[in-house]
Amino acid sequence: MANTKERTEDTCPLVYQCRLPLSTRTVNHLADLLRRHLKAIRSRWRILLPGKIAVIVLAVLRHDQRLADMAGGNDVSESTVRRWRDELIGLLAVQAPRLDGALKQVVRQGLPRESPCTGSSSTT
């Protein structure tokens, strides 16, 4: 048995890559949201570009990647990835229609003849 001077602690970390099918439109939309937000809060910089942040957050949300794994692979802390995730979810939530507005739109367009809950037609 040959003695080596290398220890197991000195090995290179394992890199895990996966293919994440994302449309350019989705990534650009999130990156633009983040750019506008950063400009509004007068943030001077981020360690990564908004497009890269968007891809990391989408990987966390879509493939349920662990925050620590995504952080380690991108040389940022786990808390940074968590903050980015929460920030982008908040930005997307602001764009979502509120329930009262969605119901008003349904009323303006007219209610369907069949009730979605019972399947019976409404005859009055």
Kindly report the three-state secondary structure assignment for every residue of 41-81.
CCCCCCCCCHHHHHHHHHHHHHHCCCHHHHHHHCCCCHHHH
The reported pLDDT for the residue numbered 120 is 53
- What percentage of the chain reaches a pLDDT higher than 70? 74
Given a contact cutoff of 8 angstroms between Cβ atoms, the answer to whether 30 and 84 are in contact is no
- The pLDDT mean for the chain works out to 80
How far apart CA 55 and CA 69 sit, in angstroms, is: 14
At residue 7, the pLDDT reads: 47
CB 58 within 8 A of CB 24: no
pLDDT score for 38: 92
Rounded CA-CA distance 22/87 in Å is 20
pLDDT in tens, 51-109: 999 999 998 888 777 888 888 888 899 999 999 999 999 999 998 878 888 888 888 88
Percentage of the chain beyond pLDDT 90 is: 34
pLDDT at position 14 is: 47
pLDDT at residue 10 is higher than 90: no
* Six token digits for residue 49: 């570009």
